[in-house]
Amino acid sequence: MKINTVSTFPRLIKEATKYGIVSNAVKNKLININHFSLTNDLNQNERIDDEQYGIEPGMVLSYEKSYRLFKKIKTLNPNTKFIFTSPKGIKLTNDLAISLSKERSITIVCGRYEGYDQRIIDEYCDLEISIGDYILTGGELAACVLIDSVARMIKGVVGNQNSVKSDSLMNSMLKGPVYTRPKIYKGKKVPNILLSGNHENIKKYLRETSLAATLNKREDLLENAKLSQDEVSQLKSTKQSTINKNIYIALVHYPIENIKGEIIKTSLTNLDIQDIARSANTYGINKYFITHPVKEQRMLAEKVIKYWSNEKVRKNDNTKHSSINKIIVKNSLNSAIREIRKKHGTKPITIATDARMVHNMTSYSTLRDRILNIDEPVLIIFGTGWGLPKNTLESADYILKPVGGYYEYNHLSVRSAVAIILDRLLGCKF
Ligand SMILES: C[S@@+](CC[C@H](N)C(=O)[O-])C[C@H]1O[C@@H](n2cnc3c(N)ncnc32)[C@H](O)[C@@H]1O
Residue range 149-154: mean pLDDT, rounded: 97
**What is the 111 CA–ligand 1 centroid distance (Å)?**
7
Is 91 a pocket residue for ligand 1 (Cβ < 6 Å)? no
Is 169 a pocket residue for ligand 1 (Cβ < 6 Å)? no
DSSP state of 153: T
Distances (CA, A) of 319 to 49, 269, 286, 308, 424: 68, 20, 16, 10, 23
Q: 92, 136, 145, 147: which to mutate for ligand 1, most atoms within 8 A of CB?
A: 136
Query: Which residue minimizes the CA distance to atom 20 of ligand 1?
Result: 130
CA distance 310 to 324: 11
DSSP state of 116: B
Torsion of CA 37, 41, 47, 50, to 10 degrees: -70
Can you give the pLDDT at residue 259? 96
Can you give the pLDDT at residue 317? 75
Which of 167, 219, 339, 423 is the catalytic position? Answer: 167
Angle, alpha carbons 13-16-18 (nearest 5°): 115
Can you give the pLDDT at residue 118? 98
**What is the 114 CA–ligand 1 centroid distance (Å)?**
7
Query: How, if at all, do strands 49-51 and 59-61 pair?
Result: antiparallel
Contacts of 318 (CB under 8 A, 6+ apart): none
Residue 78 annotated to the active site? no
From the candidate CATH numbers 1.10.1660.10, 3.30.2130.30, 3.30.950.10, 3.40.1280.10, the one assigned to the domain spanning 2-163: 3.40.1280.10
| Greater model confidence, 320 or 404 | 404
Give the helix/strand (H/E) hosting 64: helix 63-76
> Which of 151-155, 180-184, 320-324, 389-393 shows the lowest per-residue confidence on average (mean pLDDT)?
320-324
Can you give the pLDDT at residue 312? 81
Instruction: Report residue 141's pLDDT band, with 50, 70 and 90 as the boundaries.
Output: very high
Torsion of CA 316, 322, 323, 328, to 10 degrees: 120
Q: 108, 135, 137, 148: which to mutate for ligand 1, most atoms within 8 A of CB?
A: 135
pLDDT at 51 over 80: yes
Query: Which residue minimizes the CA distance to atom 1 of ligand 1?
Result: 137
Q: Which long-range contacts (CB under 8 A, 24 or more apart) does 207-210 make?
A: 208/176, 209/176, 209/177, 210/173, 210/174, 210/175, 210/176
Can you give the pLDDT at residue 314? 76
Q: 38, 48, 85: which to mutate for ligand 1, most atoms within 8 A of CB?
A: 85
Can you give the pLDDT at residue 162? 87
Q: Categorise residue 304: left if φ over 0, alpha if ψ from -120 to 50, beta otherwise.
A: alpha
Can you give the pLDDT at residue 309? 87
As a whole number, the mean pLDDT across the chain is 96
Three-class SS state of 97: helix
pLDDT at 318 over 80: no
Q: Bridge-partner residues for 5, per DSSP?
A: 35, 108
Q: At what angle do helices 270-282 and 414-426 cross, to 10 degrees?
A: 10
Nearest alpha-carbon partner for 326 in 376, 280, 377, 272 = 280
Atom of ligand 1 nearest to the CA of 109: 25
Alpha carbon of residue 290 to chain centroid: 33
- pLDDT tens digit string along 82-112? 999 999 999 999 999 999 999 999 999 999 9
Percent of the chain with pLDDT over 70: 100
Is 132 a pocket residue for ligand 1 (Cβ < 6 Å)? yes
Can you give the pLDDT at residue 319? 74
Can you give the pLDDT at residue 313? 76
Instruction: Assess contact for 48 and 38: CB atoms under 8 A.
Output: yes
- pLDDT tens digit string along 192-229? 999 999 999 999 999 999 999 999 999 999 999 999 99
Instruction: Report residue 310's pLDDT band, with 50, 70 and 90 as the boundaries.
Output: confident
Query: How, if at all, do strands 81-91 and 127-130 pair?
Result: parallel
**What is the 127 CA–ligand 1 centroid distance (Å)?**
14
Query: How, if at all, do strands 81-91 and 49-51 pair?
Result: unpaired
Is 117 a pocket residue for ligand 1 (Cβ < 6 Å)? no
**Architecture of the domain defined by 184-240:** Orthogonal Bundle (1.10)
Three-class SS state of 430: coil
Residue range 403-411: mean pLDDT, rounded: 95
From the candidate CATH numbers 3.10.20.30, 3.40.190.10, 3.40.1280.10, 3.10.129.10, the one assigned to the domain spanning 247-426: 3.40.1280.10
Instruction: Assess contact for 293 and 265: CB atoms under 8 A.
Output: yes
Query: How many DSSP H helices and E strands does the chain contain?
Result: 18, 18
Which of 117, 140, 152, 275 is the catalytic position? Answer: 152
**What is the 130 CA–ligand 1 centroid distance (Å)?**
8
pLDDT at 148 over 80: yes
Nearest alpha-carbon partner for 100 in 88, 82, 87 = 82
Nearest alpha-carbon partner for 154 in 95, 80, 98, 94 = 98
**What is the 140 CA–ligand 1 centroid distance (Å)?**
10
Residue 356 annotated to the active site? no
Is 137 a pocket residue for ligand 1 (Cβ < 6 Å)? yes
Instruction: Report residue 44's pLDDT band, with 50, 70 and 90 as the boundaries.
Output: confident
Give start-end residues of each CATH 3.40.1280.10 domain in the chain: 2-163, 247-426
